Amino acid sequence: MASLGRGTIVGIGSVAGDRGRSGNPVYCTSKAALHAYLEALRNRLARAGVKVVTIKPGFVDTAMTRGKDGLFWVISADRAAEIILDKARRGAVTAYVPARWRVVMAIIRSIPSFIFSRLGI
């Protein structure tokens, strides 16, 4: 792509990568690392004309989430794919899927650690 001077790389992260949660620290860590990698790759390839998009989905109806209690705003994999394609085509840098997760995660990221650690989420 860099030799052609164009192209788009789409990386699928997760809202879980925005904050380290007690229930799944390894998953949160791996997604946070992916987000940082995609940012570094975006910066590296920017001058070459290659775009790198970071997608941060919430709950998507897949084998990973099926049958789990307490999930909300679950969207179908097909709907997630439609949104992801749209965001990539529009040149988004980072996109939450669905978009309402951006507000939720902004609030969650703003909670001080000493409070967040007591929430058990």
Instruction: Give CA–CA dist 55/82, Å, rounded.
Output: 12
Instruction: Give CA–CA dist 30/54, Å, rounded.
Output: 14
- Closest alpha carbon to 53 in 86, 94, 13: 94
Torsion sign over Cα 114, 14, 6, 91: negative
pLDDT of residue 70: 79
CB 98 within 8 A of CB 71: no
pLDDT of residue 121: 81
Per-residue model confidence as pLDDT tens for the chain (121 residues):
888 899 999 999 999 999 998 888 999 999 999 999 999 999 999 999 999 999 999 999 988 888 888 788 999 999 999 999 999 999 999 999 999 999 999 999 999 999 999 998 8
- Closest alpha carbon to 93 in 48, 6, 35: 35
Q: Which of 27, 37, 51, 108 is catalytic?
A: 27
In CATH, the architecture of 7-119 is: 3-Layer(aba) Sandwich (3.40)
- Domain limits of the chain? 7-119
Is residue 37 annotated as a catalytic residue, yes or no? no
- Model pTM? 0.91
